[in-house]
Amino acid sequence: MTERRRWPRRPVAWSVAMSIDGGPSIAATAVDASLYGLRLSVPATADLSAIQNGARCKVEVHLCGAAARFVRVCEVRYLGPDGVGLLFVEPLPAALAPNGGAENHVTAKASGKPRTAAASLISKLRSVALAPLHH
């Protein structure tokens, strides 16, 4: 079957705190990501009755524990047995986006020592997170 998605997905396992319209936070796990979205797996005990397609929400995504994080404003685009699908206003940080330079293979540092893609992602994300904001 041909992939019809605008942006390719890749599997992830990120901890997420999602809040709908400033409401209480819902703990979830991101199971796949694309340049402009996430699919979340939400515990069966979570009350999703107030969530509707088109609802505006905010997600705080934690990578590798508390080592790095990013926040995005998004819209609920899917609610169903496969989880919650979210569409971002702004893209994922480039180091985390599929086909954004973060391939799932071993890369070599200038020193010639191998470095895993996960370590490379964290390094790139830290540089993005620590860069001064220009707004």
* pLDDT tens figures, 47-91: 888 788 999 999 999 987 667 889 999 999 999 888 999 999 899
Decide if 20 contacts 55 (C-beta within 8 A): yes
| Ranges of each domain in the chain | 10-88
Q: How many CA atoms lie within 13 A of 64 on its CB side?
A: 11
Q: Which CATH number does 10-88 carry?
A: 2.40.10.220
Q: Could you write out the DSSP letters of every residue in 39-97? A: EEE--TTS--TT--TT-EEEEEEEETTTTEEEEEEEEEEEEETTEEEEEESSPPPTTTS
For 89-104, the pLDDT digits (tens) are 899 887 887 765 333 3
Decide: pTM greater than 0.75: no
